[in-house]
Chain A
């Protein structure tokens, strides 16, 4: 039971960083990675490859699934010298971003996790949250405040 909870928590954490890396702007990911100045030895299990994923929607937003259209993604897999495997499936066509994402995925499973979280994942997440928050604030300023006109028919 405890093992299962542990596995679920690990999985949720990995889902979190993989999703963050996939959605993050390529330039930011690569800049933060370069700033870390890490030299990491690895072997490709699958070199970066650009492809498409068919995005699905639901009829009426909630009903049966249908195929909406594709998006571009890049995927790769690699193995660190210690045997840890990292995967990436990231939006867009930037092979370098995919390589960094897979390296981070592998390193996050080891001793470097805390450092990477503090110096790469958290700054990425903060920047993305700030950008989304700005859009949300802009949107909130366009919210209509209805008021009822005095009809003067007392």
Chain B
């Protein structure tokens, strides 16, 4: 029998009131404002923008405040918000070669033109807790005279001069790439769709997939050919004007891997490439994305299917999105009283039948 259940409104209202109070915390501690989160928890903001798939640092900071620092909840809020936005159009593809780099390193060439620029990195820190931060107060460094951003040529182009790396030529006319936000993912996916799915995929999931390839599941010998982080301008055609104008700046992390490749039935021995591009300063994600992108290219490069999870497009793409995942996972905690009632009836019936089968045997003993 189905019984519609109502009620709980008062409990829900009180729960949400309490949530708001818990979010704020004790009144004798100063409240965090959105600008503080945006500027002082910048890497959390970047992750929310990347996986929320919306570049807007203020909104991401607001979402982090509202979600009490639960980043997947914050990403959920951003995804929900972005569905309310009318789509004005598509940008022309950004030119990451013209990036104003805060950071640019190569693990393959020491003396790369433009140099190895470390930027504000955790690398080479000792990972010891800095108790001085409890006490506050960083001494600002002295004023530095401004300089122009140097030109940073792509590392892959040096290998390309020798013809030793798979080329990534620019098409004469850009094909319109598929868009996951407009049409559901269908398999087999194009590389463009895979990159879009990975760019907004869960950092932990993409990291683990990448790690699995390093440990031997579809091993593909990656080096970080180049990692660059910085600002690029976004340009878009404005129909009313009939020409393209810059509509803003975004910070991006870009990683290109260089992968040893001994050749296949269809391709000569050369280096191949994996590509990662992510909103914000998010280098762990960008490197992971490049490794997984490369693993997923096995078919196109004529490599063997080793049955590794990272080669399995369906497995990777259908499980990378943490909002889809958490939506399905968390719904099982919501009331399933009627579903469960029917299961309970079923198990009771089976038990009665099983007991009926057991009892005659007992009687025989």
> Which A residues are closer than 8 A to B by beta carbons?
11, 14-15, 18-20, 22-23, 49-73, 75, 77, 87, 89-93, 129-130, 132-144, 146
Report which of A73, A133, A142 forms a contact with B118, defined as CB distance below 8 A: A142
- Binary interface encoding of chain B residues 228-268 relative to chain A, with 1 for a CB under 8 A from any of its CBs, else 0: 00010111101011011111111010101000000000000
Contact B82 A70, beta carbon cutoff 8 Å: yes
A68 touches B277 (CB 8 A): yes
B residues sitting closer than 8 Å to A (CB atoms) are 49-50, 53-56, 58-59, 82, 85-94, 96-97, 100-103, 110-111, 115-121, 144-150, 154, 156, 168-171, 174-181, 191-193, 195-196, 199-200, 231, 233-236, 238, 240-241, 243-250, 252, 254, 256, 273, 275, 277, 279
Give the residues in chain B near A57, CB-CB below 8 Å: 93-94, 96, 195, 252, 277
CB-based contact B170/A66 at 8 Å: no
Contacts of A72 in B (CB 8 A): 54-56, 59, 85
CA–CA, A20 to B233, complex, Å? 10
Q: How far is the CA of A18 from the CA of B93 in the complex (A)?
A: 19
B241 — which chain A residues lie within 8 A by C-beta? 14, 87
- Residues on B with C-beta less than 8 A from A77 are 240
Question: CA–CA, A5 to B107, complex, Å?
Answer: 46
A sample of 13 more A-B contacts (CB under 8 A), given A54-B89, A129-B146, A133-B148, is: A15-B244, A54-B90, A55-B250, A57-B252, A60-B273, A66-B177, A70-B54, A91-B234, A93-B59, A133-B147, A140-B147, A142-B120, A142-B121
- Considering only CB atoms, which chain B residue lies closest to A146 in the complex? B110
Q: Determine whether the beta carbon of B247 is less than 8 Å from that of A22.
A: yes
Question: Taking chain B's interface residues, is the majority helix, strand, or loop, or is none over half, making it mixed?
Answer: mixed
Whole-angstrom distance between the Cβ of A24 and the nearest chain B Cβ: 10
Q: Point out the residue from B170, B178, B233, B243 that lies within 8 Å of A63, measured CB to CB.
A: B170
In angstroms, Cα B195 to Cα A60, docked, is: 11
CB–CB A51/B248 < 8 A: no
Write the chain B residue with the least CB distance to A50.
Answer: B85
CB contact under 8 A between A52 and B86, given known A15-B245, A60-B156, A70-B55: yes
Alpha-carbon gap, A36 to B193, bound state (A) = 48
In the assembled complex, which residues on chain A have CB atoms less than 8 Å from the CB atom of B240?
77, 87
B248 A91 Cβ-Cβ under 8 A: yes
Q: B91 — which chain A residues lie within 8 A by C-beta?
A: 53-56
Taking the closest CB of chain A, its distance from the CB of B361, in whole angstroms, is 65
Neighbouring A residues of B249 by C-beta, 8 Å: 23, 91
Q: In the assembled complex, which residues on chain A have CB atoms less than 8 Å from the CB atom of B238?
A: 87, 89
Q: Chain A nearest CB: distance from B297 CB in Å? A: 10
A139 touching B101 in the complex, CB below 8 Å, given contacts A52-B54, A59-B191 = yes
Contact, CB under 8 Å: B233 / A61: no
Q: How far is the CA of A55 from the CA of B89 in the complex (A)?
A: 9
Complex contact A56–B93 (CB within 8 A)? yes
A142: contacting residue among B88, B117, B148, B192, CB under 8 A: B117
Q: Are B56 and A130 in contact (CB under 8 A)?
A: no
- A22-B247, A68-B277 given; A54·B169 CB < 8 A: no
Interface centre among A65, A70, A71 (most CB of B within 10 A): A70
Q: A59-B192, A136-B100 are in contact. Are A71 and B199 (CB under 8 A)?
A: no
- Rounded to whole angstroms, the CA-CA distance of A137 and B117 in the bound complex is 11
A132 to chain B, nearest CB (A): 6
**Assembled-state Cα–Cα distance A144/B118 (Å):** 7
Q: Which residues of B contact A68 (CB under 8 A)?
A: 94, 195-196, 199, 277, 279
A141–B118 Cα distance when bound, in Å, is 9
**Docked pose: A93 CA to B84 CA in angstroms:** 13
CB–CB A143/B97 < 8 A: no
Question: Chain A residue with minimal CB distance to B116?
Answer: A144
